[in-house]
Structure 1
C-alpha cells in the first residue's frame, strides 16, 4: 500500500499532494511501468481521507498520462520513465525544432483545419462592436447556461441546419465538448442517486457505490472515452458494422447510456441509416433511465447529397442529448460547445448543476451570437465547404496512384479519409517509415478501445490544413516511400 505523506495543515489541497507524490514516484522509477496502484477506495481507507480526494488525484494522473485506467481491473503505471533522462533544455529546443522540421513537411492531421480561412475581418469587426460603450454589461456575470441571446441563435441554427427542434432553455453553453461531457457525467450520477433515493433512501455518500456503465462505439473519439474512464465509468465497447453501432450487441449489455456519432462516425466515417437510428431510439425508449449522447462533431461538412439530419431530430421520446461545437467550423481556439438536454435532465441540471458559472467569456458569446444571427456563419460555411470539397476531391484523385493497393472509407464528408494500405507492414512500421521521409501520418489503432482486428494498417488522412500542392506532393511522396512494401 502507498504511504503517501499528507500534510493536513498545508495550503496545497490533499488531492494535489497525492498526485504530486505518485507522479514523482513514477518519474523517479520507484513505481515501475505496469505496477498496479491500489484502488481509490482502498487508498482512501488507508489514508483515512475521502475517496473523492483520491479520485481527483487519479483522474489528474490519468489525464496527464502517468497512469492508465483498465476497465474492471484498476489503475496501472504508464510508460513514462524516459522522463527522468531528458537532456538539458537548450539541447531539447534544438532537437525538437530539427525533428519538427524533418517530420512535418507533410502533416496529414485529421484534427487540423484550414486556419487561413478564418474570417479575420468579420471577427475584428464584431470584436470592435462588442467593445462599444453600450455593452458594458458583458463584463458582468451572465446566465450560467450561457447568454440567452446566444442560446436563441443556436436554437435557430440547429433547426435550420440539423432539423433539431429545441428551445433556448434546453441549451447549455460550455468551453468545448470535453467540459460538457464532464457536466453530463456529474448529471448522470445525480440522476442515478435520485432514482435510488426514491426507492431506497440512498444518501449522497452512497453514489460512489453505484455502478456507472456507458457504452461506446469501437473505435471511438478516444478523448470522450478517457473522460468517462476518469469519471469512474465502466465503459463497454460495442463493435460497428457497415451501418454503425450494433444495437443487438447493445441490448446484451447493462449500459443505460450510449455515446454515438451517427451522422459521420468518428473515426470511420460511417453514416447511420434511418433504420439503425430507429433501433437505437427504441433501445433507449425501453427504460426510463436510458439516454443517447449524440456527438454531432463535424456535421457541417458533407460534399455529396443532402446533409444528414441529426438523430435528435427523430427523438420523440426525449432520449437524445445533443452535443455540438464551433471548433471545427471556425477555429480550434474558439472553445465554444453546446448541448441540448431533454426536459427531464434539464430539470435535474437546474437543480444540481445550476451553480456552475458559464466557462465561456461573455465577450466571446457576444461575437458568436452575432456571427450566427447576422448571417456571417452561413457565408463562412459556404466558403469553407467549397474549399474543403476541392481538397477532398483532389486527395481522392491523387490517391489513384496507389491503384488497387488501398481501400478507402469514410469519403464524401468530414475532414479526413480512412485509408487501408494493402501491405505486410504493421501500422507502427508504416507510420515510422513515413515519418523517416518527412510525412506525418495518424494511425487508426489509437482510436480503438479493444484491439483493431483489421488485416491491413489503417490511416486517417486529414487534408484541411494542407494546400492543394502539398496534398499532391505529400501523397506522391508517400507512394514513393512505401510502393515496394505494397502487396
Structure 2
C-alpha cells in the first residue's frame, strides 16, 4: 500500500489537472486539512511539499498554499498510459544516500535572504555574472575551506559550478591528455564523465584506509580521483599515511595530479577530522572539489573546485567555457549565508543531529552480532553486512515491507554477499525508531 501522503498528493494533483482547482485557488491550511481528514500534520506537510516540488502549488508567507498556473490536461487514469508522469516507486521506509534531514533547515533565514536577493540594491544579479562564479561567493568559499579544511587558496582559484559532474568535465578539458585512476567501487559521476568523453581510466581497488596505493604507485597513469574523507560507497577514510604517499606519488612527475572530492567532509562524529589532502600539498598537485548538497540541501545545485594557481591560466585559455549554470540569486543567498555565520551555526546543529541518529542506529545494530558495519564514523552513509545472509531473500523481504535499501552490488557488480549501503540523513528523528524496527526485521527475517 502506498503511503498516505502519496495518496493525498495524487488526489490534489488530479483535481488541479482536471481544473477543479483553478490557478490562484487557495488550498486548505495544513491544520484544517489535518482535522478534516483525521491525518497527521506530517502527512499533510509531505503531500503539500511534493505538490510544491512538482510545481502544482506554491506558498505565500503567512498566507498559505495556492494553485499554480498550469496547462489543464486530461487526468491520467490507472488503466490509461500516463500522459504526464512516469510512475515513481514510493516506499514507506527509505535509507537513501542522497537525502538530508529537512526538519532542522533554517527556512525562515533562507526566506529572508531570498526576499532580499530580489531587492533593488541587488539589481546586478539580473545580469550575467562571471563564468567562474559570483565573486563574493568565491571569497566566502575560500575563507570557509581554509577555516574548516585547511585548504589554502585565493578567491581567484575558486570556480563555482552546478555539480561535481560538471566540474569534473571541466577538469578533463583543463588536463587534456591525462589518463585517470579511479576508485573501485567509485563515486558514479566521475565514471560517467570519463566514459562519456571516452577518456582512458583504470579501476583501483579500495581497501582498508583508502585506495590501494601499491597499485597507484606502479601505474603509469597521470591523474587519480579520490574521495579520501569518506569514500563512496565503502565509507573508508584514507589514513594519513596513504595521504602522504599519494602526495609523494604526485610530486614525482610534472604531469601528475590528484583530484580530491571532499565528499561528506563536514560530518565526522567520533574523531577529530583529518585535514584535506590539499592542505598537505606544497607543490600545487591537488585539485579540490566539494559541494553544498549535503551541508545545505541537494537541490541547491552549487559545487565548487579549487584549482592550483598554474592551472588557472589553462582554465582561462579554454575557448569554449560555458557561462555559470548556477542562478546568481542562489549564489548571492549562499554567499550571505556563509558570510554572516549562519552556515557555521547550521552545520554545527546538523552535526549533532546526525551524530545522534548514527549513535542510535549503531546501538540498535550492535544488538545483533551477525550484522557488521563500516564507515559509520563520518558522513551520512555506511556499509552494512549480514553474515551468512542471502541478498535476494533480504531484498524480497524489503519489497514486502516497502523498505528501500541499496545493495552494495549496485556499485560493485561482483559482490554477491548480503551487503548494503545505508543512508540515514533523510530519516527524520521521530521516524528513526520505526525505520530501524523494519530494517532489522528485513535483514534478519523476524
Kindly report which structure 2 residues correspond to 1:307-318, keeping only aligned pairs within 5 A, or say none.
307-318=273-284
CA distance in 2, matches of 1:480, 1:175: 40
1:107 aligns with 2:73: no
Partner of 1:451: 414
Partner of 1:59: none
CA distance in 2, matches of 1:287, 1:482: 48
CA distance in 1, matches of 2:278, 2:135: 21
Residue 258 and residue 429 in structure 1: after superposition, are their counterparts in 2 closer, same or farther (change >3 A)?
Answer: farther
Partner of 1:412: 377
TM-score (norm 1): 0.72
Kindly report which structure 2 residues correspond to 1:391-430, keeping only aligned pairs within 5 A, or say none.
391-401=357-367, 403-426=368-391, 428-430=392-394
CA shift for structure 1 position 271: 1.4
Residue 142 and residue 424 in structure 1: after superposition, are their counterparts in 2 closer, same or farther (change >3 A)?
Answer: closer
CA distance in 1, matches of 2:275, 2:330: 28
Preserved CA contact (<8 Å) 1:435 1:441: no
Preserved CA contact (<8 Å) 1:242 1:270: yes
Partner of 1:464: 425
CA distance in 1, matches of 2:443, 2:364: 15
Listed one character per residue, the Cα deviations across residues 268-290 of structure 1 (whole Å, up to 9, x for unaligned) are 12111111111101111111111
CA shift for structure 1 position 308: 2.0
Of 200, 215, 228 in structure 2, the residue corresponding to residue 234 of structure 1 is 200
Partner of 2:351: 385
CA distance in 2, matches of 1:306, 1:325: 21
TM-score (norm 2): 0.78
1:373 aligns with 2:339: yes
Runs of 5+ consecutive residues of structure 2 not aligned to the other structure:
1-77
CA distance in 1, matches of 2:111, 2:96: 28
Preserved CA contact (<8 Å) 1:329 1:381: yes
CA distance in 2, matches of 1:424, 1:156: 48
CA shift for structure 1 position 424: 4.1
Residue 440 and residue 344 in structure 1: after superposition, are their counterparts in 2 closer, same or farther (change >3 A)?
Answer: same
Preserved CA contact (<8 Å) 1:175 1:336: yes
Preserved CA contact (<8 Å) 2:96 2:406: yes
Residue 372 and residue 353 in structure 1: after superposition, are their counterparts in 2 closer, same or farther (change >3 A)?
Answer: farther
CA shift for structure 1 position 259: 0.5
Listed one character per residue, the Cα deviations across residues 360-413 of structure 1 (whole Å, up to 9, x for unaligned) are 111111111110011010011011111111111111112134x21111100121
RMSD of equivalent CA atoms: 2.1
1:168 aligns with 2:129: no
CA shift for structure 1 position 164: 0.6
Which is helix-richer, 1 or 2?
1
CA distance in 2, matches of 1:232, 1:282: 28
| Secondary structure, aligned partner of 1:240 | strand
CA distance in 1, matches of 2:410, 2:114: 39
Residue 355 and residue 478 in structure 1: after superposition, are their counterparts in 2 closer, same or farther (change >3 A)?
Answer: closer
Preserved CA contact (<8 Å) 2:394 2:442: no
CA distance in 2, matches of 1:243, 1:466: 28
Of 191, 203, 211 in structure 2, the residue corresponding to residue 245 of structure 1 is 211
CA shift for structure 1 position 359: 1.6
CA distance in 2, matches of 1:229, 1:340: 24
CA distance in 2, matches of 1:233, 1:87: 45
Q: How many residues align?
A: 369
Partner of 1:62: none
1:339 aligns with 2:305: yes
| Secondary structure, aligned partner of 1:333 | helix
CA distance in 1, matches of 2:209, 2:365: 25
1:275 aligns with 2:241: yes
